[in-house]
Structure 1
Amino acid sequence: MSETQQRPTASDEPYVPARRPEPTGWAGYVVFAGVMLMMLGGFQAIEGLVAIFRDEYYLVTRSGLLLTMDFTTWGWVHLVLGLIAVGTGIGVLLGQTWARVVGIIIAVFSALANLAFLPAYPIWSTIIIALDVLAIYALAVHGREVRY
């Protein structure tokens, strides 16, 4: 090298930011899971309010339930699960890692609560359990693709 030529320095090269891997089409499942958590949380909260204020609405009495708690207790369980699910769904849509973990946990508890509540409200409980399973799958398998 001659004295007139200088070595290129790192500052002479243009800055290229690191690229994030492009999300696959499966990332839509995570959006689905976030929306489902919000929607199921809302329905769960409504179901809880019905159980708290109008317990004669359900098909069976307290003795016909899998766990013999009164409907007011079941109402509070559904209401709390529903409100947490709505907040978690918002977190999932924002790409928060904690929301994925909490979303899976809440979906499992929601499915178990609806399994125990199945004799009182069979069709709706079955639908919620199926949607909870889909949300668990989406969050567990494809949740990493929507991190921001």
Structure 2
Amino acid sequence: MTEHPVRRGIAAGTSVGAAILLITVGTLSVLAGISAVADDGLYVVGTTYIYELDLTAWGWTHIVLGALLACSGGGLLARKTWGRTAAMIIAALSIIANFLSLPYYPWWSILVIGLDVIVIWAVATWTGRPA
């Protein structure tokens, strides 16, 4: 069974975009994590949440995850096998982390979850083989 060339082209283009998104979202996650670690009062929690953690812990979680996202985006741009694997795994971990941090920054979390789903689809669909 052969792959449709248009689908392959869209997935390849989206994979490059996914790599750029990973680097960007990773960088922004690091910056958001730094601001949570530096000043807990910056984030406001509206309601009680069952997965409540200290904001400093969430900050460090986002710093580490953001650094890993950016590194996997670099590996994906370099067309490394570990970059593809890491991109999918770390994007899935990012989905979980952003779900758990919904009460702290809901719109950002929802946006990042959506972008991570696109990243996982693009990386999983793109084979990287020439047409």
The percentage of aligned residue pairs carrying the same residue is 37
Counterpart code for 1:145: G
- Correspondence 1:138 to 2:118: no
- Correspondence 1:90 to 2:65: no
Question: Which residue of structure 2 aligns with residue 46 of structure 1?
Answer: 31
Question: Which residue of structure 1 aligns with residue 60 of structure 2?
Answer: 76
SS in structure 1 of the partner of residue 44 of structure 2: coil
* Contact 1:95 1:146 (C-alpha < 8 Å) held by counterparts: no
Q: Distance in 1 between matches of 2:86 and 2:40?
A: 30
Runs of 5+ consecutive residues of structure 2 not aligned to the other structure: none
Q: How many residues are paired up? A: 124
Q: Deviations over 1:104-148 (max 9, x none)?
A: 010011111010100110111111111011001001111x2169x
Runs of 5+ consecutive residues of structure 1 not aligned to the other structure: 1-21
TM-score by length of 2: 0.87
Q: Which has the larger radius of gyration?
A: 1
Question: Which residue of structure 1 aligns with residue 42 of structure 2?
Answer: 57
After TM superposition, where is structure 1 displaced by more than 2 Å over at least 4 residues in a row? 63-66
TM-score by length of 1: 0.77
Q: For the aligned residues, what is the CA RMSD?
A: 2.0
Q: Deviations over 1:12-52 (max 9, x none)?
A: xxxxxxxxxx9942211110110011001001101110110
Q: Where is the helix percentage greater, Structure 1 or Structure 2?
A: 2
How far is the alpha carbon of 1:69 from its aligned partner?
1.5
Q: Distance in 2 between matches of 1:25 and 1:32?
A: 12
Q: Deviations over 1:74-130 (max 9, x none)?
A: 111000000011111010001001110110010011111010100110111111111
Q: Distance in 1 between matches of 2:112 and 2:50?
A: 17
- Correspondence 1:129 to 2:113: yes
How far is the alpha carbon of 1:64 from its aligned partner?
3.0
Counterpart code for 1:79: I
How far is the alpha carbon of 1:60 from its aligned partner?
0.6
* Contact 1:65 1:117 (C-alpha < 8 Å) held by counterparts: no
Question: Which residue of structure 2 aligns with residue 108 of structure 1?
Answer: 92
* Contact 1:65 1:120 (C-alpha < 8 Å) held by counterparts: no
How far is the alpha carbon of 1:65 from its aligned partner?
4.0
SS in structure 1 of the partner of residue 109 of structure 2: helix
